[in-house]
Structure 1
Amino acid sequence: MQFSQVLQALGQFANGIAPRGRAIRPLEIDLDEANAPSPFEQAAIGTWKTEDGAILIDLRPDGQFHKCKPSAGAQHRGRYAVDRSKLYFEGESGWVALGKLKRGRLSIGEKQFRKA
């Protein structure tokens, strides 16, 4: 049976079980929303800084991060991934870190960050 015949058969089946007064709409999928960030990713995106402002981390929507220490002139880049309230960081030089997002605070090791 060809694919088009299967679809036609499914359409006839759906017509048989659908309520009579209702029109059947085709399936609509918004591909833009399929790639939209999850609520956890949305909460993580943005610029984070320590209380003393010594470290800034910019988490971008494309999964990249930029970390800088203005006083030392140091900068690091890499990528991150969000798994619910946990953030996994991997720097360009190969270092890895685990962060936790809880109640508007980001913890990475002993460092605490707040959104700037």
Structure 2
Amino acid sequence: MQQAPHPYVGMWVTEDGHVRHNLQPNGRYDEARGKRQSAYRGRYWVTGDHIDYVDDTGFTADGNFVDGVLHHGGMTLRRKDE
């Protein structure tokens, strides 16, 4: 049985568009920074409104979703309309 994607799946971007998090339905993420596509890749999981990241090198980070905004590493990212 396949689970429905989490409601936070999708593209999240900073206001200036420099940082872009693509939260994929398979539990993987791909982060672009500036012109550097796939600057960071790894796994993520969401518990309630909290997100934990582990990139493919083992680095960990986390963030929180508050009122439709992702707060992560001192940045605020908003969902990008596709």
Q: Could you tell me the TM-score, scaled by structure 1's length?
A: 0.63
In the alignment, what sits opposite 1:84?
48
1:52 aligns with 2:16: yes
In the alignment, what sits opposite 2:77?
113
Structure 2 residue identity aligned to 1:105? V
In the alignment, what sits opposite 2:57?
93
| Number of residue-to-residue matches in the alignment | 79
Provide structure 2 residue ranges, at least 5 long, that are not aligned to the other structure: none
Structure having the higher helix fraction is: 1
1:64 aligns with 2:28: yes
In the alignment, what sits opposite 1:9?
none
The higher relative CO (CA closer than 8 Å, separation ≥ 6) is in 2
Superposition misfits of 4+ residues, deviation over 6 angstroms: none
- What is the percent sequence identity of the aligned residues? 29
The separation in 2 between residues aligned to 1:99 and 1:63, in whole angstroms, is 15
Alignment root-mean-square deviation, CA: 1.3
CA drift at 1:102: 1.0
Provide structure 1 residue ranges, at least 5 long, that are not aligned to the other structure: 1-30
Structure having the higher Rg: 1
